[in-house]
Each structure stands twice: as structure tokens, then as C-alpha cells.
């Protein structure tokens, strides 16, 4: 195995920002993914979102009114959890349903807000020459984390 990294997703979470209700997808990133996001940063701070729990990045959408500095209140299992927006991305590699916004946050922020510690997706990049047996062994390990 060459690299492994994971993401956690919470889909279509009810939210309120500045009195406007909207559903949001909340997605956790790890350091490698934040490095990739740098190419899409329109404004704000990737570093702060990685280190400051309770913060995130909004992915640009023409119909969105969410700005840097806004606080998004997410309804997670009947409880209101807040995330402060510290940056804006022009795009991200994940599809959200029509009318659903996307917030990117750190693993720590995701766990703090949702209470979920398991990954939704684990990506693995194999070293050259990896075998079917290597893939099987990885699958066995991953079952504990997904």
C-alpha cells in the first residue's frame, strides 16, 4: 500500500444560516485532501479549518448566500450543532443533490458535530506490484473502520 486516506459523510443535513433553511452535505477531509483543495480555494483559510474544531469551508454554489464568517446551524439527530465558515472553495470532487450545499471540514470537526467516528469511504493507493492477496488483506482491515 502506498497511501490511504478516508472521508466521512453526513448527507442532506437540515441547516439554518442567517434565517435561511437549506440541506447540507458535511464531508470530512484529511491533510492530503486539504492539500488538493488548495487549488480550489477562492478565499479564506485551509489551515485554520484543519486545526480549529467547529470550522469549515463552503463549496461555492450560485444560489448560496453563505459567506465567510457565517455560522451554519446543523440539525444533527435533533440537536443543533454550529460550524463557522472560514473559507470558500470553487468546487469539490463530490456530487451533492440539487439544492443541497456542501461543507468541508476536518475529521475532528466532523466527529465533534456528528458524533460519528467511522469512515464512509477509505481510498487506498497501492504500490506497484500489489497482488490480489494484498487487496484481500486490506479489505479485511478496512471492515473495522467503515
Please report, for the chain, the start and end positions of each structural domain, with discontinuous segments joined by +.
Answer: 3-142
pLDDT in tens, 88-135: 999 887 777 788 999 999 999 999 999 998 877 777 777 788 888 878
And the C-alpha cell for 51?
A: 486545526
Q: Taking 90 as the threshold, does the pLDDT of residue 137 lie above it?
A: no
Does residue 92 contact residue 7 with C-beta atoms inside 8 Å? Answer: no
Does residue 125 contact residue 1 with C-beta atoms inside 8 Å? Answer: yes
What is this structure's pTM? 0.85
pLDDT in tens, 20-53: 999 999 999 998 889 989 999 999 999 999 999 9
Amino acid at each position: 500500500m502506498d497511501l490511504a486516506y478516508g472521508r466521512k459523510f453526513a448527507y442532506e443535513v437540515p441547516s439554518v444560516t442567517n434565517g435561511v433553511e437549506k440541506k447540507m452535505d458535511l464531508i470530512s477531509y484529511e491533510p492530503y485532501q486539504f492539500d488538493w483543495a488548495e487549488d480550489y480555494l477562492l478565499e479564506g483559510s485551509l489551515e485554520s479549518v484543519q486545526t480549529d474544531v467547529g470550522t469549515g469551508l463552503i463549496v461555492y454554489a450560485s444560489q448560496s448566500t453563505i459567506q465567510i464568517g457565517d455560522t451554519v446551524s446543523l440539525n444533527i439527530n435533533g440537536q443543533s450543532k454550529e460550524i463557522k465558515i472560514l473559507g470558500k472553495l470553487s468546487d469539490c470532487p463530490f456530487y451533492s443533490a440539487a439544492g443541497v450545499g456542501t461543507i468541508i471540514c476536518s475529521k475532528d470537526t466532523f466527529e465533534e458535530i456528528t458524533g460519528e467516528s467511522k469512515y464512509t469511504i477509505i481510498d487506498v493507493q497501492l504500490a506497484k506490484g500489489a497482488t490480489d492477496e494484498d487487496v484481500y488483506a486490506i479489505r479485511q482491515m478496512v471492515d473495522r473502520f467503515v
